[in-house]
Amino acid sequence: MEFFVPKMKTKSSAKKRFRMRPGGTIKRAQAFKRHILTKKTTKNKRHLRGSVGVHDSDLNAVRAMLPFA
């Protein structure tokens, strides 16, 4: 008897949104910077630049979506 083990797959949505850092943390882009920018202040948009780390409470869920990262 042969047993078939399905391949583990990376979630396509997660691989587009997250990147692993060398230290094991995961970085993500900030939300609320895609559209309807005219009503947002320049200061608000400036603070939304760059990337931030995934929150500790979400790390296990994101790591499960990226098994090979």
pLDDT for 69: 87
* Radius of gyration of the chain measured on its C-alpha atoms: 17
pLDDT grade for 1, boundaries at 50, 70 and 90: confident
Give the bridge partners for 29, in sequence order: 51
In angstroms, rounded to a whole number, what is the distance separating the alpha carbons of residues 65 and 60? 9
pLDDT tens sequence across 36-69: 999 999 999 999 999 999 999 999 999 999 999 8
Averaged pLDDT of the chain: 95
pTM for the structure as a whole? 0.80
In angstroms, rounded to a whole number, what is the distance separating the alpha carbons of residues 67 and 49? 28
pLDDT grade for 2, boundaries at 50, 70 and 90: confident
Question: What CATH number is given for 12-65 in this structure?
Answer: 4.10.410.60
